[in-house]
A and B are shown apart, each in its own frame.
With several copies, the nearest count.
Chain A
Amino acid sequence: MPDLGRYATEVLSAYAVTFLLVAVLIGASVWKARKVLRQLREAENRRGSST
């Protein structure tokens, strides 16, 4: 860990915010992708079974 001197709070909080927001973005993307994929599978199955 490098010595950040008197800017430690600023630098660390900047990194923290970035990681947090990127994580939220990735998380939301994955969550939505999973949800859509699951629903799509169900719809395709319904369709497959009905024909």
Chain B
Amino acid sequence: MSLDVQSLACARGGVRILAGVSFAVARGEALILRGPNGSGKTTLLRTLAGLTPPLSGKVAAPPEGVAYAGHADGLKAQLSVAENLAFWAGVFGATGISAAVDAFDLAELLDRPAGNLSAGQKRRLSLARLLVTGRPVWCLDEPTVSLDVDNVARFARAVGTHLAAGGAAVIATHIDLGLPGAKSLDITPFTRAHQPRRPHHDDPFLSEGAL
């Protein structure tokens, strides 16, 4: 089992957003997170990646950890595409960047400063970073934003390869990614609006009775 989530409650900025989330993603599996805007996909992914501590419940991730890619690209405008990738390869102890470059067709852009790329090119570069992390579980937040149709397909292939190699992925998205065997999870039932009123609150100042 690659990622195992049990009755997780997540908060953002001190407010509980989700509660009672449980699911498991095995090796070779992808899970698509669905839910309307503001339902808490980003919040959940940040908790899975270990950036925000969970309010309650637990996340069992593999010991090598999770690779996270959020709404922001995390690129250095002054460094070239190759330098950006090589830096992350160095941080994660990867051996080379060529596989990542090939998977996202970055060969022609290698010498360009990342700041001069178009929105979709930047996104491709930031997705290529996932391949140099060598991590088994990917947590991706709307990875295909501003990608054109060809590049969405390229991304789907990259995810497919990752899964085939025994990886796992949790992907929040609003569009159809074209990943054949992927399970899908709608997080709406776990949001506050759909939860029963609970006697026990996460915020100690919210317990019953006026002050």
Asked if A12 is at the interface (CB within 8 A of a chain B CB), the reply is no
Question: Taking CB as reference atom, which chain A residue is nearest B197?
Answer: A51
Main SS at interface, chain A? helix
Q: List, in ascending order, chain B residues with CB within 8 A of A44's CB.
A: 210
Asked if B91 is at the interface (CB within 8 A of a chain A CB), the reply is no
Question: Taking CB as reference atom, which chain B residue is nearest A48?
Answer: B210
Question: Taking CB as reference atom, which chain A residue is nearest B209?
Answer: A44
Asked if B211 is at the interface (CB within 8 A of a chain A CB), the reply is yes
A38: min CB distance to chain B, Å: 13
Interface size on B, residues (CB 8 A): 2
Asked if A40 is at the interface (CB within 8 A of a chain B CB), the reply is yes
B193: min CB distance to chain A, Å: 14
Q: List, in ascending order, chain A residues with CB within 8 A of B210's CB.
A: 40-41, 44
Complex: A29 Cα to B202 Cα, angstroms: 29
Instruction: Convert B193-211 into 0s and 1s, putting 1 for each residue whose CB lies closer than 8 angstroms to a CB of A.
Output: 0000000000000000011
Question: Taking CB as reference atom, which chain B residue is nearest A44?
Answer: B210
- Give the A-binding residues of B (Cβ under 8 A): 210-211
4 contacts between A and B (CB under 8 A): A40-B210, A40-B211, A41-B210, A44-B210
Complex: A3 Cα to B170 Cα, angstroms: 83
Q: List, in ascending order, chain A residues with CB within 8 A of B211's CB.
A: 40
A32: min CB distance to chain B, Å: 15
Complex: A41 Cα to B210 Cα, angstroms: 8
B210: min CB distance to chain A, Å: 5
A16: min CB distance to chain B, Å: 37
A43: min CB distance to chain B, Å: 10
Complex: A48 Cα to B210 Cα, angstroms: 10
Complex: A40 Cα to B211 Cα, angstroms: 9
Question: Taking CB as reference atom, which chain A residue is nearest B210?
Answer: A44
B196: min CB distance to chain A, Å: 13
Complex: A24 Cα to B86 Cα, angstroms: 35
Question: Taking CB as reference atom, which chain B residue is nearest A41?
Answer: B210
Q: List, in ascending order, chain B residues with CB within 8 A of A40's CB.
A: 210-211
Q: Which residues of A (31-51) have their CB < 8 Å from a CB of B? A: 40-41, 44
B108: min CB distance to chain A, Å: 14
Question: Taking CB as reference atom, which chain B residue is nearest A45?
Answer: B210
Complex: A23 Cα to B99 Cα, angstroms: 48
Complex: A40 Cα to B205 Cα, angstroms: 12
B208: min CB distance to chain A, Å: 10
A4: min CB distance to chain B, Å: 48
